[in-house]
Amino acid sequence: PIFMKCAFVLAMAAPASALNLFGGAKKPGRGTLYSDITQTIGNTPVVKISKKLNPTQCDVYAKCEFFNPLSSVKDRLALAIIQDAEERGALKPGDTVVEATSGNTGIAVAMLCAQRGHKCVICMAEPFSVERRRLMRMLGAKVIVTPKAGKGTGMVRKAEELCEKHGWFLCHQFENEANWKYHEATTGPEILTDFSGKRLDYWVTGYGTGGTFHGAGRAIKKERPEVKIILAEPEDAGLLASGIPTERKADGAPVGSHPAFKPHPIQGWTPDFIPKVLEDAPDNLSDELVPIPGAHAIATAKALAAKEGILTGISGGGTMWAALEIAKKAPAGSIILAMLPDTGERYLSTPLYADIEADMNDEELDIARSTPSFQLIPGKEPVLAA
């Protein structure tokens, strides 16, 4: 307690330069003012993973997409699609925007609609986390929940029906070329800039729509063809691994559910069809396909939080698990970059937090009892002052 008191006094008295508050040479502030929230999308940081999680002779980095304003890579997709539709005249002020989503795209689209002045309706299958519904409603969206049995294709069908009946604008995130083209123009060049003059041997990503893989992958391969691109998908839903194509309607949307699909815990990844945005990527873009066990994705997301202070979702855990597996077999000195698509706060009601309790555990209760004041012990009267 004495040490803690002294440390606090010293910290309060020390100048900012001594505390290194701004990371050494980094200057405070961004040096610019933004006219709206959408201008803050992109330019997410790349962070090195320590030897606590990566004990190999390779270096592993993470591109942290949760630094986007609504905390996921889907902010890029939403901006791309809405901006493209507005520029083409397909979307006018006050129009209603509709999308089918596992959550992150819906949250991002709701943000764009709130900022641009559009109405927003999101269709979302029942199993996806309830906190995502609340976030979308907080942003002004109407959320239509579809039955679990309908899977991803069911929520897509509902979105299509609503647009056909009401004349609303459908984002078509799984088919829209604006999706991958935005990643080709932003995400890929950001990676190339951050690794300019530096080694980069592997880039690891999963897929939801396939936009990041397709667009950023194109940009990376064009400038640095030696970089190996590793594509990950859930082990329980090996759609690409099956080799079976998705049957499509004229607009590219799936006709039905893919026969290789099984439910999996990696929310945001691999719907029950192969997205057209993913299918349209060049055949040689991926160098290796890695199946991700759901339990390992969850465990790695937890390890990132506990060992690195990086709070990402199950999909981020899955991507990082693939990167760490690559690091085990890659030549010594290899540099590996993994995409972390979103924040772990989107998963509070999912298996990621299944063993994280809200109440104090035995160890925490022992700490609480170690001093006499302000104790809240189950079965006893609260203690304020000893």
Residues β-bridged to residue 112 = none
Alpha helices in 225-340 (DSSP H): 239-242, 276-279, 294-303, 314-329
Residues β-bridged to residue 229 = 203
Residues β-bridged to residue 228 = 202
Range list of β-strands (E), the chain: 46-48, 59-64, 96-100, 119-125, 142-146, 169-170, 202-205, 228-234, 288-292, 335-340
Residue 352: DSSP 8-state: G
What CA–CA distance (Å, rounded) separates 48 from 227?
A: 18
Which residues have a Cβ under 8 Å from the Cβ of 180 and sit 6 or more positions away?
210, 211, 214, 215, 218, 277, 280, 281
What CA–CA distance (Å, rounded) separates 23 from 48?
A: 15
How many of the other CB atoms lie within 10 Å of CB of 7?
A: 10
3-state DSSP helix/strand/coil % of the chain, to nearest 5: 45, 15, 40
Which of 324, 328, 317 shows the shortest CA–CA distance to 353?
317
Task: Cite the active site residues.
Answer: 74, 315
How many of the other CB atoms lie within 10 Å of CB of 78?
A: 31
What CA–CA distance (Å, rounded) separates 372 from 111?
A: 47
Token couple for 204: 């690891």
What CA–CA distance (Å, rounded) separates 24 from 47?
A: 16
